[in-house]
Amino acid sequence: GTMGNASGSTVDDMQAVEIHHWYKKFMTECPSGQLTLHEFKQFFGLRGLDPEANAYIEQMFRTFDMNKDGYIDFMEYVAALSLVLRGKMEQKLRWYFKLYDADGNGCIDRYELLNIIKAIQAINGCNLEMSVEEFTNRVFEKIDVNGDGELSLDEFVEGARKDEEFMEVMMKSLDLTHIVAMIHSRRHSV
């Protein structure tokens, strides 16, 4: 399959009418057409987050800000929505990898994964039957195939496909469905 650019192809998948719909929402919430981190948090109704959740949201903002200019513009917003709403598994996994690799060194270490799982719990709540530390260790035991203490992109993608429980927790990290639902209903409920 195609592995490279996760954004380009997904944007094409969206229907023009749907894009227009999202454009109207975007411009209503963000008339400048450029979403800052602060607005991003407001947009999604995220306030009073603990530091871990906050760091996670900032990391999410940075992965959506593809040209790294500090703003999410409309095309970046559409690419993000498109990924969330109908991205293929492979694209989502690649995106997760980027999101989880907080320092951007091309590998996910134990500390990075631990922080992400903590943040997912803080934001979405996930009912793990064990502590986040235990969960993280278990994930590493299973999917760090070469045992170097870091997850490469290949280990991550392969591991996620094989480990249902890990996949489920990860899905929560991109589970913006409640957020999307909120955006949908906000205009009507006011």
Give the binding site for Ca ion (CB under 5 A): 65, 67, 69, 71, 101, 103, 105, 144, 146, 148, 150, 155
CA distances to 116, 131, 161, 181 from 136, rounded to whole Å, are 10, 9, 16, 30
**Nearest CB to Ca ion, comparing residues 5 and 146:** 146
Give the nearest distance from C-beta 141 to Ca ion in angstroms.
Answer: 12
**Nearest CB to Ca ion, comparing residues 64 and 135:** 64
> 44 — phi, psi (to 5°)?
-95, 10
**Nearest CB to Ca ion, comparing residues 52 and 101:** 101
**Nearest CB to Ca ion, comparing residues 163 and 186:** 163
Give the nearest distance from C-beta 112 to Ca ion in angstroms.
Answer: 5
Give the nearest distance from C-beta 158 to Ca ion in angstroms.
Answer: 11
